[in-house]
Chains A and B, each alone.
Chain A
Amino acid sequence: MNPAFSVIFFTSASGAGFGLLFLLGIFGPLGLLPSSSWFGVVAFAASFGLAVGGLISSTFHLGHPERAWRAFSQWRTSWLSREGVASVLTFVPAGLFAIGWVFFGSTGGIWAVLGLVSAVMAAITVYCTAMIYVSLKPIQRWSNGWVAPGYLLISLMTGALLLDLLLHLFGAGHWLISGLALVAVAAAWAVKTGYWRFIERTASASTPESATGLGAFGRVRLLEAPHTEENYLLKEMGFRIARKHAARLRDIAELCGFAAPLMLAGVSLISLALEAHWLGTLAALAAVLAAAVGVVVDRWLFFAEARHAVTLYYGAAEA
């Protein structure tokens, strides 16, 4: 699948934004986070900026962005529609929750309820985003049980690393958050490893023989393509990446996206015990930056390594 940068940045950014919002909605009411207005301003600016910015940038790759409001209508059948509806249902309580935090300095009472609702809706929104990809049967590497957990855990991981950084910046680092970031990175790494193993070892359910129905006559291979030039299908679905390039990028994704953040989250956690404030802040910042690079590379690979069944008609041996 063509790895369009706009979609890659959109899903990575909005995942981080909703992940952060999820944690604010849970740990804010629990009283683990600073209730100061300034913290609220910065945290919600980051969360909303990433989530909303991501969603709005996704409309740029539409043929008719002015009609994008219509995308809320088919929530009964379409995961893309459900994602839109869920995100609006997240921003309403989240906006009120933010008002309570920033203007009233409160995360208790009614604000806690709003926070919890925001957290649940944020998780649902990320799940809907993942399900858009899972629901696409012609793309076997997306249509499996590893993808939704991967999306959710990466969203949690990037949100937790961001929150850890924000806490350090405000001198309010908390072992639970740093610990959660550590665990989230490890869990995301485990699921991603499972996913990579799955896509390497699973045989393609569809073949040129099943695509043409001519398997009874023997092996089917393309003699002549229907056109000499590229068309929309080949541009959108025909992208292939060589194994050695994919392997190299996967190493970068693992190193920057999981190994480094895991280690740095560990340093952040230990720094709290040692009361080494600057060490913790720097480690948390480095973790966020490394994870940003790693997650974007991983998401790029998610698209680049995906194979669409239509390529079976254009000479691919498997999809």
Chain B
Amino acid sequence: MTALPPPSPRKLGLVIDLDICVGCHACAVNCKEWNTGGHMAPLTDFHPYGAGQNGVWFNRVHSFEVGDGADGRTVHFPRSCLHCEQPDCVTVCPTGASYKRAEDGIVLVNEDVCIGCKLCSWACPYGAREFDDDSGTMKKCTLCIDRIYNENLEEVDRQPACVATCPANARHFGDLGDPESDVSRMVKERGGYDLMPEMGYKPVNKYLPPRPRRGPDATAQAGAELQPAGDEPQGLLRWVDRMLSR
């Protein structure tokens, strides 16, 4: 059904910390690997070893240069489905293949029903949906629905693959509808924000902005001036020191 369910109390989603992300692409690669099996598998690659490679990925990591001069910085930016509260990708779908779960808000594609008209990808400003030429259907981030409820996994592994693998701990998973959850607290403390809020899709995933730089005074305060450890050397050691200091 492409009518949106009533807003669910549970809003599962991700929080991505742009202050920490180092742009290693581990999240993108692990997502790709996990999805060689499971809900939306396989993610097809065409010509994977030759020219003209083209494949389906759910998570793409961009790198942006922000600001100019001394204030400029590089920000690595993972982009994947934001599991919006008002996803147009669900309402434009003519067959009902695109749907939002009522219990936890995860947006999914029913591959048995999808006709591959691609309209949902046109409706998504975030590029969350990609067409798989092999299966003829649309594919997107499933929020690892086959992991998070999976009783066959240990509790610690019941989180999205991208969150589990991030070596810098820049990705967090939780219930953004619960104000007391870790992710909600993080969003509140760090000023987590929506992407393209002017679109009105109300994304659930939040991005944490890079923390402000410490000014030049800050490094000076860190005790930059090193004091000499001992007295000036005499004799042979003084000569060795002078020769090696040339």
Chain A residues within 8 Å of B, Cβ to Cβ: 1, 61-65, 67-68, 70-74, 76-81, 84, 132, 135-139, 205-206, 208, 210-214, 216-227, 229-233, 235-237, 308-310, 313-314
Residues of chain B with a CB closer than 8 A to A221's CB: 64-65
A235 to B118, CA, bound (A): 12
Does B77 touch A at the CB level, under 8 Å? yes
The answer to whether A74 touches B95, judged by C-beta atoms less than 8 angstroms apart, is: yes
The answer to whether A77 touches B2, judged by C-beta atoms less than 8 angstroms apart, is: yes
The number of A-B residue pairs with CB atoms under 8 Å apart is: 201
Within 8 A of A (CB), among B107-165: 113-119, 121-127, 130-133, 135-137
- Smallest CB gap from B127: residue in A: A310
Does B91 touch A at the CB level, under 8 Å? yes
Question: Count the B residues whose beta carbon is within 8 Å of the partner chain — how many?
Answer: 71
The answer to whether B116 touches A217, judged by C-beta atoms less than 8 angstroms apart, is: no
A229 to B122, CA, bound (A): 21
Using an 8 Å CB-CB cutoff, how does the interface string of B70-100 with A read, 1 for contact, 0 for none? 0111110101000000001011111111000
The answer to whether B94 touches A226, judged by C-beta atoms less than 8 angstroms apart, is: no
A24 to B113, CA, bound (A): 38
A212 to B91, CA, bound (A): 25
29 contacts across the A-B interface (CB closer than 8 A):
A63-B132, A63-B133, A64-B114, A67-B95, A68-B115, A73-B95, A74-B93, A78-B2, A79-B92, A132-B92, A135-B123, A136-B88, A210-B198, A211-B196, A212-B77, A212-B207, A213-B194, A214-B210, A216-B209, A220-B66, A221-B64, A223-B63, A227-B57, A229-B52, A229-B53, A231-B55, A232-B56, A308-B122, A310-B126
Given contacts A213-B194, A309-B199, contact A74 B54 (CB under 8 A): no
Does B195 touch A at the CB level, under 8 Å? yes
Closest chain-A Cβ to B4's Cβ sits at a distance in Å of 8
Choice from A61, A81, A220, A231 contacting B94 with Cβ under 8 Å? A81
Residues of chain A with a CB closer than 8 A to B63's CB: 222-224
Choice from B18, B55, B64, B96 contacting A223 with Cβ under 8 Å? B64
Choice from B64, B123, B131, B200 contacting A214 with Cβ under 8 Å? B64
Does B188 touch A at the CB level, under 8 Å? no
The answer to whether B115 touches A214, judged by C-beta atoms less than 8 angstroms apart, is: no
Residues of chain A with a CB closer than 8 A to B130's CB: 231-233
The answer to whether A233 touches B94, judged by C-beta atoms less than 8 angstroms apart, is: no
Closest chain-B Cβ to A256's Cβ sits at a distance in Å of 28
- Smallest CB gap from B51: residue in A: A229
Choice from B67, B115, B116, B124 contacting A219 with Cβ under 8 Å? B67
Does B61 touch A at the CB level, under 8 Å? yes
A208 to B105, CA, bound (A): 27
- Smallest CB gap from A214: residue in B: B66
A68 to B132, CA, bound (A): 17
Given contacts A63-B135, A236-B118, contact A313 B95 (CB under 8 A): no
Using an 8 Å CB-CB cutoff, how does the interface string of B12-29 with A read, 1 for contact, 0 for none? 000000100001010010
Given contacts A63-B115, A210-B197, A210-B198, contact A237 B94 (CB under 8 A): no
Does B68 touch A at the CB level, under 8 Å? yes
Choice from B56, B73, B122, B201 contacting A139 with Cβ under 8 Å? B122
Closest chain-A Cβ to B87's Cβ sits at a distance in Å of 11
Given contacts A74-B2, A136-B122, A220-B66, contact A233 B198 (CB under 8 A): no
Does B185 touch A at the CB level, under 8 Å? no
Given contacts A211-B195, A233-B127, contact A74 B116 (CB under 8 A): no
The answer to whether B210 touches A217, judged by C-beta atoms less than 8 angstroms apart, is: yes
The answer to whether A80 touches B66, judged by C-beta atoms less than 8 angstroms apart, is: no
Residues of chain B with a CB closer than 8 A to A220's CB: 64-66
The answer to whether A78 touches B92, judged by C-beta atoms less than 8 angstroms apart, is: yes
A314 to B126, CA, bound (A): 11
A205 to B124, CA, bound (A): 15
- Smallest CB gap from B213: residue in A: A217
Closest chain-B Cβ to A142's Cβ sits at a distance in Å of 9
Residues of chain A with a CB closer than 8 A to B114's CB: 63-64, 67
Closest chain-B Cβ to A305's Cβ sits at a distance in Å of 15
